[in-house]
Amino acid sequence: MYARDHPPPHVHVFHSGLEYVVLLNTIEFFHNAPSPKLRKKIAKVVHKNQADWIAKFNTFSRLNHEPRQILSPIDRRDAP
């Protein structure tokens, strides 16, 4: 997730050289479609963090800073 990113609230997921954009409110995939197995794993991590990430997106999107990463990459134990 990046500060001052455009709405709607979303996260960028990078896996095996591909980028997936997941809408946080609905957990829909906006950019690229992962395999069903990967989709399930990503959705599980997003669902687990959904409320926190939406709050962070809303807070940081109002700040007047240069775009920057505001969430660290997910711990490998949680990664798809």
In tens, the pLDDT along 12-50 reads: 899 999 999 999 999 999 888 999 999 999 999 999 999
Does the predicted TM-score (pTM) go above 0.75?
Answer: no
Q: Is 55 exposed, middle or buried (0-12, 13-18, 19+ CB in 10 A)?
A: exposed
| φ, ψ dihedrals at 58, nearest 5° | -65, -40
Q: Using pLDDT thresholds of 50, 70 and 90, give the confidence band for residue 59.
A: confident
Provide the 8-state DSSP code for 65.
S
pLDDT value at position 22?
A: 93
- Looking at the chain, the whole-number percentage of residues with pLDDT higher than 90 is 40
Provide the 8-state DSSP code for 4.
T
pLDDT value at position 42?
A: 94
